[in-house]
Structures are given as structure tokens and as C-alpha cells.
């Protein structure tokens, strides 16, 4: 197994992390998860553009070009002989004695690894649908940045699992934002509803693809925040993410209680997504 460390692909056994990495002290870093289908990175350009955006928003100087990152990711996938799975890449603000104040001279630290994912397992779940736990969004106000600070997300995910749900759906003062690691879509009267790409959500790459596919299928789309109780009147619901693709929700528990069937629009988008990725 090989991993990525700065601009080198090294054996995982030789990789070490620094105690004084600001990623450990402050969660001062960003990341991306890129899907690999048939040994090829999917929408790598979009993910790397978002990584660069996250870096800019945090005044973090990446000091590496998109082309170099692309080459490194391709090499890592090849060396690990990964056919289906994901690449995780992370960039922290670098190593320095613990101090809240960062200096712009520090060298960011890039690390990355690959992980296998079971396409089979995912597709079975996509046919059955999942349960979602509706709970408070306790995160900060820059959810548009793909930061490695994920406490609000991991707390919500644990809470969901404790209630036998596979994902947490978050609301801020009663308005639905997104999932703990996904974006939420509702369908009502043939129209798709999802939160707009503001500072309150991560603008998912899968979300953007689904919006594009929905447009080409001529579905009506509304990118507006909606109150959580609207879920009770929805015809269909699904979440999107790099790892889950288009995943139907068949049950909401917690802050909203309702059951749903997997509907025709969700199925059409699932089909369209499978075509798009091949
Ligand atoms: N999570 N919203 C949040 C909070 C997320 O963490 C993610 C992705 C998404 C969906 O984004 P995308 O479609 O670009 O994957 C939305 C990744 C997969 C993760 O942390 O594992």
C-alpha cells in the first residue's frame, strides 16, 4: 500500500505525521474525497477546483498546481491498483509550534490515501433506500469550505446511527441545510427542491451533477431553503454524495417523522447518474 506525502508517493509504512501539524492542533486544513470508477478518478477536475477554492477561502497557499495534484492522484491509484474506491487528499497549513496565529510562510502538508469501496453494497442500498435522522445543525457558518473540522458532522452521524439511521439530515432553526456528509433533495409535484449553494452547505459535486442531469431531463428545480416540516409533504427524498451517489430516503425520524417510497424521479436520476459516470 502506498500513500501520498507532499509530492511523493511512498510506502504507507514509511509515512509519518508531525506532532506540530496545524491539522492536529486546530483542524487547520482542507480535504477532498474523489471517487474511482474502473481505475479512473471521476470528476477530479471539479474536486480539485473545489480544493483550490477552499484553500483560497482560508488564506491557505496550496503551493502546488492542479496538474501536479492530478498526476500524483493518478499515480497513487495506479500504484495501489485501485479499481473501485476513493482517494482522500488532505492539505493542512503545515508544521509550526502551537500558536493560534498562523503565518503565511508555512509550507502546507499534503497527504493522501486510497480506500476500496464496494459498488455492490452501495447499489443494493440504492435499491432499498435508507433511513434518515433529522437533527439540529450545530456546525459553524462556513460549511461551504471543505474543512477537516468535522465535529458537528461526526456528532450528528453518531446520533443518527444510535437511532438506527444511516444519515443525519440537519436543520438550522428549522430550515433544512444538508446531510452530515451529503446534500438533500426533496421531490414534490414533479419539482426538485434543495438548499441553495450558500455558506450554510457544502456545494457537493454530486449535487451539481444531479442538478445538471435534472435540467437535461427537464425537471423543474427550486434551489431554496425549506422548513423541515415540508419533508412530511414530500413525494420523494434522496441524498447525494461522492460515496453514496444518488441514495433514496424511505424514512425520516427524529425532528421529522414520515415514510416514503422510492419514486420515479429518484429512479430516473439514479439511472442518469449511472450513465453519466460510465
Ligand atoms: N462528503 N455535504 C457535506 C457536509 C459533505 O461532507 C459532503 C461530502 C457532501 C457531498 O459532496 P460531494 O457530492 O462533493 O461528495 C455534502 C464526503 C464524501 C466525505 O466527507 O466523505
Pick the residue whose CA is nearest to atom 16 on ligand 1: 182
Average pLDDT over residues 84-107: 95
How many Å lie between the centroid of ligand 1 and the Cα of residue 97? 31
Summarize pLDDT for 142-201 with one digit per residue, the tens: 999 999 999 999 999 999 999 999 999 999 999 999 999 999 999 999 999 999 999 999
Q: Of ligand 1's atoms, which has the minimum distance to the CA of residue 153?
A: 4
- Where is 120: in which H helix or E strand? helix 119-128
Active-site option among 1, 16, 75, 146: 146
Q: Of ligand 1's atoms, which has the minimum distance to the CA of residue 209?
A: 13
202 lines ligand 1 (CB under 6 A): yes
pLDDT at 119: 86
Question: What number of other Cβ atoms are within 10 A of residue 58's Cβ?
Answer: 17
Cα gap 239→212, rounded to integer Å: 15
Kindly give, in sequence order, each residue whose CB lies less than 8 Å from that of residue 176, ignoring residues fewer than 6 positions away.
169, 170, 184, 195, 225, 226, 227, 228, 230, 231
Confidence of residue 98 (pLDDT cuts 50, 70, 90): very high
Pick the residue whose CA is nearest to atom 11 on ligand 1: 204
For the domain made up of 2-117, give the CATH fold: D-amino Acid Aminotransferase; Chain A, domain 1 (3.30.470)
Pick the residue whose CA is nearest to atom 18 on ligand 1: 242
Is it the case that residue 50 has pLDDT exceeding 90? yes
Q: Which of 34, 209, 242 to mutate to test the pocket of ligand 1 (most atoms within 8 A of CB)?
A: 242
Mean model confidence pLDDT for the chain: 97
Cα gap 250→130, rounded to integer Å: 6
Residue ranges of the chain assigned to CATH 3.20.10.10: 122-277
pLDDT at 166: 98
pLDDT at 8: 97
Reduced 3-state DSSP string for 9-32:
EEEHHHCCCCCCEHHHHHCCEEEE
Is it the case that residue 219 has pLDDT exceeding 90? yes
ipTM of the complex: 0.98
Domain 122-277 has CATH 3.20.10.10: yes
Lowest model confidence (mean pLDDT) among 19-28, 44-53, 104-113, 128-137: 104-113
181 lines ligand 1 (CB under 6 A): yes
Confidence of residue 35 (pLDDT cuts 50, 70, 90): very high
Cα gap 156→137, rounded to integer Å: 8
Average pLDDT over residues 115-131: 95
For the chain, percent of residues with pLDDT exceeding 70: 100
How many Å lie between the centroid of ligand 1 and the Cα of residue 106? 28
Residue 157 appears among annotated catalytic residues? no
205 lines ligand 1 (CB under 6 A): yes
Q: Of ligand 1's atoms, which has the minimum distance to the CA of residue 50?
A: 14
Average pLDDT over residues 66-86: 98
139: cell is 456546525
Structural contact between residues 175 and 226, judged by C-beta atoms closer than 8 angstroms: yes
pLDDT at 106: 79
Instruction: Tell whether the torsion through CA atoms of 68, 109, 154 and 88 is positive or negative.
Output: positive
Average pLDDT over residues 55-60: 98
How many Å lie between the centroid of ligand 1 and the Cα of residue 99? 29
pLDDT at 270: 98
Average pLDDT over residues 257-276: 98
Confidence of residue 81 (pLDDT cuts 50, 70, 90): very high
Residue at grid coordinates 492522484: 73
pLDDT at 271: 98
Residue ranges of the chain assigned to CATH 3.30.470.10: 2-117
The residue length of the chain stands at 278
Confidence of residue 105 (pLDDT cuts 50, 70, 90): confident
Pick the residue whose CA is nearest to atom 3 on ligand 1: 181
33 lines ligand 1 (CB under 6 A): yes
Is it the case that residue 91 has pLDDT exceeding 90? yes
Amino acid at each position: 500500500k502506498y500513500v501520498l506525502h507532499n509530492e511523493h508517493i511512498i510506502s504507507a509504512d514509511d509515512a509519518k505525521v508531525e506532532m506540530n501539524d496545524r491539522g492536529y492542533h486546530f483542524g487547520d486544513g482542507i480535504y477532498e474525497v474523489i471517487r474511482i470508477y474502473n481505475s479512473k478518478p471521476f470528476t477530479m477536475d471539479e474536486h480539485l477546483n473545489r480544493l483550490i477554492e477552499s484553500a483560497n477561502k482560508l488564506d491557505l497557499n496550496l503551493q502546488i498546481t492542479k496538474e501536479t495534484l492530478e498526476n500524483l492522484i493518478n499515480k497513487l491509484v495506479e500504484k495501489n491498483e485501485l479499481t473501485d474506491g476513493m482517494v482522500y487528499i488532505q492539505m493542512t497549513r503545515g508544521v509550526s509550534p502551537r500558536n493560534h496565529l498562523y503565518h503565511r510562510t508555512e509550507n502546507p502538508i499534503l497527504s493522501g490515501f486510497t480506500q476500496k469501496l464496494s459498488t455492490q453494497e452501495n447499489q443494493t442500498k440504492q435499491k432499498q433506500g435508507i433511513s434518515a435522522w433529522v437533527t439540529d445543525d450545530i456546525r459553524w457558518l462556513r460549511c461551504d469550505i471543505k474543512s477537516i473540522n468535522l465535529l458537528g458532522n461526526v456528532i450528528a452521524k453518531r446520533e443518527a446511527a444510535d437511532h438506527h439511521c444511516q444519515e443525519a439530515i440537519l436543520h438550522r432553526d428549522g430550515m433544512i441545510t444538508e446531510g452530515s456528509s451529503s446534500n438533500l433533495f426533496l421531490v414534490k409535484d414533479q419539482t426538485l427542491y434543495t438548499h441553495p449553494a450558500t455558506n450554510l452547505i457544502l456545494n457537493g459535486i454530486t449535487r451539481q451533477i444531479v442538478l445538471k442531469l435534472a435540467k437535461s431531463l427537464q425537471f423543474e428545480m427550486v434551489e431554496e431553503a425549506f422548513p423541515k416540516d415540508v419533508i412530511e409533504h414530500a413525494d420523494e427524498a434522496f441524498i447525494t454524495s461522492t460515496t453514496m451517489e444518488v441514495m433514496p430516503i424511505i424514512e425520516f425520524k427524529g425532528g421529522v417523522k414520515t415514510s416514503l417510497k422510492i419514486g420515479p424521479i429518484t429512479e430516473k436520476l439514479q439511472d442518469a447518474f449511472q450513465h453519466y459516470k460510465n
